[in-house]
Amino acid sequence: MDNAITVALAGNPNAGKTTLFNLLTGARQHVGNYPGITVEQKEGCCLHHGQGLRVVDLPGTYSLTAYSVEELVARDFLVNEKPDVVVDVIDASNLERNLYLGCQFLELGVPLVIALNMIDVAEKRGITIDAAALGKRLGVPVIPIVARTGRGVDQLLDAVLKVAAGESRPQPAFLRYGSDIDEALTDMMPFIRQCTELTAIYPERWIGVKLLENDTQIGQKAIATHPTASAKLNERCEAVVNHLQNTLGVYPEAVIADHRYGYIKSILHQGIVTRKFVADRLYASDKIDKIVTHRFLGPLIMAGILFALYTFTFSYSTLLVDWLASFFALLNHGVDTLLPDGPLKSMITSGVIDGVGGVLGFVPIIMFMFFGIAVLEDSGYLARVAFMMDRIFHFFGLHGSSVMPFIVSGGIAGGCAVPGVMATRTLRSPKERLATLLTVPFMNCGAKLPVLTLLIGTFFSDHQARYMFLATLAAWLVALCAAKFLRMTVLRGASTPFVMELPPYRFPTLRGLAIHTWERTWQYMKKAGTVILGISILLWALMTYPSLPDERVAHFEQQRQLAHTTLAPGTSENQSEKEALDKALQKIKATEAMEGLRNSFGGRIGIACEVVSRYAGIDWRTNIALIGGFAAKEVIISTLGTAYSLGDVSSEDATSLSERLAKDPGWNPVVALAVLVFIMFYAPCFVTVVCIAKEAGSWKWAAFSIVFNTVFAYSMAVAVYQIGTWLY
């Protein structure tokens, strides 16, 4: 496709850019990340009148400043990749504000086509727009479309082809920014022309405007390429800043913005927009908002909706999760019978199959969650949740949108941090997003629950419900305070402005939901899957090797022989003898497994850690179990079972382990509480860690999460144990 035309889709968030992108490209899209940052790059292709089009979906922005990564990405794409056509998707019912970005495209001089989207909504609101006249005044084609239904899209693509076929790139629009700025720009021109590296890619006047706007990227580039000219430019800029400050008390960027809006007003001033209804009609959205964000009803409705999302994600996905689990159990069983005993079989069953099962086990949950969130996001409700919750979350240095990841991770006990971490994508502010990402694993996920239930059931059976409730409350408190702590230390900085749009309510399209859900689920499988499988095999090796020395293996074999000869001489049909033999053999097997575990690297680490962990009252057996818990928290139970020579203990029925712990002199309620606290807050399971690395865009944060959480959990556990022992 060498002769394919590159079309960049740009526009404000919520203007329907993604809907148009999905309509144009359908399933033929590719999602990637811009190198080094977490902004998604979506690309697809389509065919119009035999002409191939490469469609790139730029991040939704309101402006082209250098303040956010999204805006920089969009701007850099436009100037570096020079797309053949830029389609600016504009919400027709919000024309004036959307044209602010369109105006900046004109200033940049890109080949532009304006898609006047959601023209039907505007018509319903009694707004008619003379697209042809608007196009004439702006000097670019303006095509009314409805991206949801496909109305007008053919004409839009016709216009795109026509612009692409145009001989020369259009000249940057010449806007006036008031006498002070205009004079400064004229004075600056000679020096700007000296910066030839810059003028090769950016329009001259645009560079001047950006310098006056105090744009960091352009400023730095100017200094780097031409220090002397940039010093002169800086001087002139400062003069304008001082002059404007003294006379009007404003900054140049404000004056420039005012003149852009002035230009837009002059374009729209007569005949372009006609309103049939006078004044501010109460739209359907406003009526819904009157109830949905109502002071008392709002939070109640929100609690209901969040609970519904939660139930939907975790209850309805269980069926698929169970199917997958039984499929992998079957597979395990098949391999078990086909292959001879040995390290290969052990690796395939415990490493590979459990690993793949672990990866795929999350897929239904992630799919359901993203579907649920896509419904809330596309309908516009998510913005309302952020609106209502912001006061509380802002106090802890987070953003109103953080509530969703927290709930999904286990804010209602029994969630899962993996989809929770992935749900942070709805946050647009980088610092708040990282803080959310790093603290959601503190919540009580579904895998921690059986462990908590076991310990609480064993040592605090009288107040089981109360302790479970306290555990949930403690998780929230710790997570929020940890977020505050992070925002005051490593993630210090002013909070991102909450200036945000409440988009009108819309019915989500099934197509949009399906694409949304699928692309995110697929990304998880592709990106996280491979790493998770690798770590799973690694953890398996950690718990298996080195294997027991030959003489110990021989010793257990001998014991088995002995059991056979003493308990069941010959081929006895006696039922009680058989049972006794089985029991003895099981006991030998359990002891062997315990010794094997103790001998493995994991076991040795666990024993070595006892030096430190005993201050929290935790012995080596629990240490090993906690290391196993890094694979998945519910593994703590089975590993603890092995460490206490109990054989296989399942997380669903752990009565034997419970009885054993209750009798063990090393355990008492204080130890149990310390362990409980440690399990709640220590390093997230590695699937979560991998997801944190992928979402934060760096393994540094994943490592930070492991260390920070473990150190925190350890200090809490030590405090509980020391104070508890002193009181007890």
Partner 1 sequence: MPLINLRNMAINQTGTIVAVKVSGELGRRIREMGLVPGTEITVKQRAPLNDPVALRVMGGTLTLRNNEADFIEVEIAP
Report if residue 340 touches partner 1, rule: CB under 8 A. no
Report if residue 506 touches partner 1, rule: CB under 8 A. no
Report if residue 277 touches partner 1, rule: CB under 8 A. no
Report if residue 613 touches partner 1, rule: CB under 8 A. no
Report if residue 387 touches partner 1, rule: CB under 8 A. yes
**Half-sphere exposure in the Cβ direction for 690 (13 Å, CA):** 23
Report if residue 352 touches partner 1, rule: CB under 8 A. no
Between 280 and 550, name the residue whose CB sits nearer to partner 1: 280
Q: Binding to partner 1 (CB under 8 A): which residues in 112-131?
A: 125, 127
Residue with token string 């990402």: 437
Q: Which SS3 state, helix, strand or coil, does residue 396 take?
A: coil
Cα separation of 487 and 19, whole Å? 35
Between 261 and 485, name the residue whose CB sits nearer to partner 1: 261
Residue with token string 């409350």: 473
Between 379 and 722, name the residue whose CB sits nearer to partner 1: 379
Contacts of 230 (CB under 8 A, 6+ apart): 191, 195, 219, 222, 223
Among 391, 462, 507, 570, binds partner 1 (CB under 8 A): 391
Which stretch in 31-39, 89-97, 232-240, 447-455 sits in contact with partner 1 by CB under 8 A?
89-97
In order of 20, 34, 88, 112, 648, the CA distances from 48 in angstroms are: 15, 27, 19, 18, 62
- Residues that bind partner 1 (rule: CB under 8 A) add up to a total of 48
Antiparallel, parallel or unpaired: β 5-11 and 51-57: parallel
List the structure tokens of 573.
């049909």
In order of 186, 254, 453, 638, the CA distances from 241 in angstroms are: 16, 11, 64, 68
Phi first, then psi: what are they for 543, rounded to 5°? -90, -5
Between 84 and 289, name the residue whose CB sits nearer to partner 1: 289
Report if residue 715 touches partner 1, rule: CB under 8 A. no
Alpha helices in 60-203 (DSSP H): 69-76, 95-108, 119-124, 131-138, 153-165, 179-194, 196-199
Report if residue 249 touches partner 1, rule: CB under 8 A. yes
Report if residue 107 touches partner 1, rule: CB under 8 A. no
The answer to whether 567 touches 584, Cβ cutoff 8 Å, is: yes
List the structure tokens of 205.
């006047």
CB of 414 to partner 1, least distance (A): 27
Between 96 and 577, name the residue whose CB sits nearer to partner 1: 96
Cα separation of 668 and 56, whole Å? 61
Cα separation of 76 and 65, whole Å? 11
**Half-sphere exposure in the Cβ direction for 19 (13 Å, CA):** 27
Between 209 and 383, name the residue whose CB sits nearer to partner 1: 383
Report if residue 289 touches partner 1, rule: CB under 8 A. yes
Q: How many residues does the chain have?
A: 728
Report if residue 93 touches partner 1, rule: CB under 8 A. yes
**Half-sphere exposure in the Cβ direction for 599 (13 Å, CA):** 15
Q: Binding to partner 1 (CB under 8 A): which residues in 461-500?
A: 497-500
Which stretch in 161-169, 289-297, 451-459, 618-626 sits in contact with partner 1 by CB under 8 A?
289-297
Report if residue 278 touches partner 1, rule: CB under 8 A. no
Among 251, 518, 699, 704, binds partner 1 (CB under 8 A): 251
Burial class (CB in 10 A: 0-12, 13-18, 19+), 540: buried
CB of 616 to partner 1, least distance (A): 39
Which stretch in 247-255, 364-372, 652-660, 709-717 sits in contact with partner 1 by CB under 8 A?
247-255
Q: Does the CA dihedral 428-432-438-441 come out positive or negative?
A: negative
CB of 507 to partner 1, least distance (A): 18
Report if residue 67 touches partner 1, rule: CB under 8 A. yes
Among 165, 392, 538, 707, binds partner 1 (CB under 8 A): 392
CB of 298 to partner 1, least distance (A): 6
Residue 54 CA to chain centroid, in angstroms? Answer: 27
CB of 235 to partner 1, least distance (A): 20
Among 130, 253, 595, 610, binds partner 1 (CB under 8 A): 253
State the residues that interact with partner 1 by CB under 8 A.
62-63, 65, 67, 91, 93-97, 100-101, 125, 127, 249, 251, 253-254, 257-258, 261, 280, 285-286, 289-290, 293-296, 298-299, 383, 387-388, 390-392, 394, 400, 497-504
